[in-house]
Amino acid sequence: MIEVVGIGDDGWSGLDEARRALITGATILLGGARHLDLLAPHAPDARLVPWPSPLRPALPALVEAHPDAVVLASGDPLRSGIATTLIDVVGAERVRVHPAVGSDALARARQGWSAEETLVVTTVGRDLRAVLPHLTDGARLVVLLSDGDGPARLAALLTEHGWGATTLTARWHLGSPDEGAHSGRADGFAEATPDLVLACLDVRADDPTVAGATAGPVPGRPEDFIDHDGQLTKRDVRASGLARLRPTPGAHLWDLGAGNGSVALEWCLAVDRATVTCVERDATRAQRIRDNAAALGLAARVDVVVGDTAGTDLTTLTAPDAVFVGGGLDPDLLDRAWSSLRPGGRLVAHAVTLEGDAALIGLHARTGGELTRLSVERAVPLGRFLSWTPARTVTQLAAIRTDSEDQT
């Protein structure tokens, strides 16, 4: 059994008797240099083994060599910590976690924020833009940061994206004698801080009317929420498609014929941890999807494959929970997409041509589901009057794979 001991910034003095006993009785202590230096005087018989770099590739062999090690970690080892990685590598049955009070809990205590009204976002070792999908007027965020430059860089990012009115409170060395804090508006926050720092955000938009246009997780954002060349599913039809795709936390989508990525990106914005594989034949649009994903803080959750949907081997892609077919519609692609779904998987496909309609009708005969025609009209100026102008009518097939169907 690998024992993972969480340690606060107060070190030995903050440990209870159970965690102290694990450390004093250890024969092998694994951990970062800071933790090993901090606890070594209290483990005289232990061999100290620092983490290798890079860590994850070396971890299986390290654990195999030291199966009964005591691992030192910061705070809650399951909050952006080593325990999560260890469990992923060796399994939960071989890892026992002894957490300390995490820095995010200490930060909430200092702020007077309840857990229910606060979201914790980690940017440790990640792009700071990971915070962007969570910015809504009035939100409260605790953002875990990599180093003392993080608060100022986060403030600059907030300001750049129209959230400069946010109150940013940097808190460092929480729970130790060196604890400190600095607070101010994001658009005026430029101070570097000590390391071991996080940021508490009371989010406020510079212009609430602008922020309101893209607020919340519900799909159907205006077309200009991403950069595009006109090749994208328009907001009303997109909202209908995503309502039937049903994004869920951690679910994976295939967006086949992704265009500029509007469906894929709103899938990811709808719920936490949702991911997507986009297949797009046009290299320029494929790069635009990547750029749009990065700008929205979604780069780590969006994979882009450049290729024609007809020629792409779908079996090499991460298995989907849902599939959206928005381009390159033909019976073979629809059959391959449908066959890739596990029971409970959802397929939504849109057609704007007679040939596409025929392909959807053919698949519907085998899969069932809903066939819907979507016709949207918008009021646009006609001289000094307003006139209804119809968009291209879209045929939509939405189907859910059932347990009774055989996967091929």
Q: What is the distance between the alpha carbons of residues 338 and 333, in angstroms, rounded to a whole number?
A: 8
The 8-class DSSP code of residue 337 comes to: H
Q: What is the pTM of this model?
A: 0.87
Distances (CA, A) of 356 to 45, 75, 353: 72, 55, 5
- Domains of the chain, start order: 2-101 (3.40.1010.10), 104-210 (3.30.950.10), 217-400 (3.40.50.150)
Per-residue pLDDT of the chain (408 residues; tens, 9 = 90+): 999 999 998 999 999 999 999 999 999 999 999 999 989 999 988 999 999 988 989 999 999 999 999 999 999 999 888 999 999 999 999 999 999 999 999 999 999 999 999 999 999 988 999 999 999 999 999 999 999 999 999 999 999 999 999 999 999 999 999 999 999 999 999 989 999 999 999 999 999 877 777 778 899 999 999 999 988 899 999 999 999 999 999 999 999 999 999 999 999 999 999 999 999 999 999 999 999 999 999 999 999 999 998 888 999 999 999 999 987 788 999 999 999 999 999 999 999 999 999 999 999 999 999 999 999 999 999 999 999 999 999 999 999 999 755 444
Record the tokens describing residue 309, joined without a space: 């949907």
Kindly give the pairing relationship between strand 47-50 and strand 140-144: unpaired
Amino acid 105 reads A
Q: What is the distance between the alpha carbons of residues 2 and 19, in angstroms, rounded to a whole number?
A: 13
Question: Alpha carbon 44 to chain centroid distance?
Answer: 42
Amino acid 172 reads W
Torsion angle, CA of 12/13/15/18, rounded to 10 degrees?
90
Q: What is the distance between the alpha carbons of residues 359 and 206, in angstroms, rounded to a whole number?
A: 48
